[in-house]
Amino acid sequence: MSAPLLSVVIPAYNEGRRLPPTLEKIQRHLAGRAHEIVVVDDGSQDDTAARAAAAGVTVLRNEGNRGKGYSVRRGMLQARGERRLMTDADLSTPIEELDRLMAKMDEGYDVVIASRALPESNIEVRQPWYRENMGRLFNFCVRVLALPGLHDTQCGFKLFTAEAAAKAFAPARLDGFSFDVEALFVARRHGCRIAELPVTWRNDEATRVDTFKGAVAFVDLARIRINYWRGAYDAPAAASGDTVL
């Protein structure tokens, strides 16, 4: 079976309500294009997996709640597409923005990431002020400690070539909030060209990112540097031990 041009990877935890309309929007937008949709069910306690399977997409089920980073990593590594998009179940970044990321990748970039922090970005629904300020502080620390030149590493809408996905995610270790930073850090260290594009974005009030997880993310920046110094990113550590529906 030939590989599709595009894989869309969606991590999902208890998303039985939000997931069906998201899948419908993605399938409608990609109609007529060779693609696959991969939902990674992170140990949900609701009917997330059943609803995803009913929509005719590939479902990967983690054994227990492993974390968003683990789920995205597993999905990106098991996807078959020549290009692989990671996006959240709430579609805070509309799927229509994919076309702009694809066009930018056509210019020769290995990774193209959506950004809420560029002047041209269109923020239709803002986050609460305390989350916005924490995000700005975190992104400043990211630029200083890990990824100079990138303004928003946490927007959950990123496009990788298949080769870049393997380089970025196979050696990755973090399962939590900072997995995006780690993946981009590893990708850049392996020579991948990264572009950042402004997008339309709207906050979803049902987001599960809390203050505690955000605080832990600052510690993760140090872990990324320590892992790099120890050579941990030179050897792959792909997700395993889970099931496929």
- Residue length, the chain? 245
233 touches 186 (CB < 8 A): yes
Q: What is the CATH number of domain 1-91?
A: 3.90.550.10
Structure tokens at 204: 């979803």
Nearest alpha-carbon partner for 142 in 236, 214, 67, 237: 214
Per-domain boundaries in the chain: 1-91, 93-234
Cα–Cα distance for residue pair 70/240, rounded to 1 Å: 10
In the predicted model, residues of the chain with pLDDT beneath 50 are 238-241
* Whether 158 contacts 85, CB under 8 Å: yes
The label of the residue with tokens 């260290």 reads: 189
Question: What are the structure tokens assigned to 245, written together?
Answer: 């529906």
- Pick the closest to residue 151 from 201, 185, 117 (CA basis): 117
pLDDT in tens, 86-120: 999 999 999 999 999 999 999 999 999 999 988 89
Q: What is the pLDDT of residue 210?
A: 52
String of b and e for 170-200 (b: at least 16 CB within 10 Å)? Answer: bbbbbbebbbbbbbbbbbbebebebbbbbbb
What is the reported pLDDT for 56? 96
Q: CA-to-CA distance for 229 and 42, rounded, in angstroms?
A: 30
Angle between helices 211-229 and 129-145 (to 10 degrees): 10
Place of tokens 């009030």: 205
Cβ-based neighbour number of residue 61 at 10 Å = 19
Whether 38 and 58 have beta carbons less than 8 Å apart is answered as: yes
DSSP code at position 126: P
Q: What digits encode the pLDDT tens for the residues 126-145?
A: 666 567 767 778 888 888 88
DSSP SS3 for 160: strand
Instruction: Please tell me the predicted confidence (pLDDT) of residue 146.
Output: 85
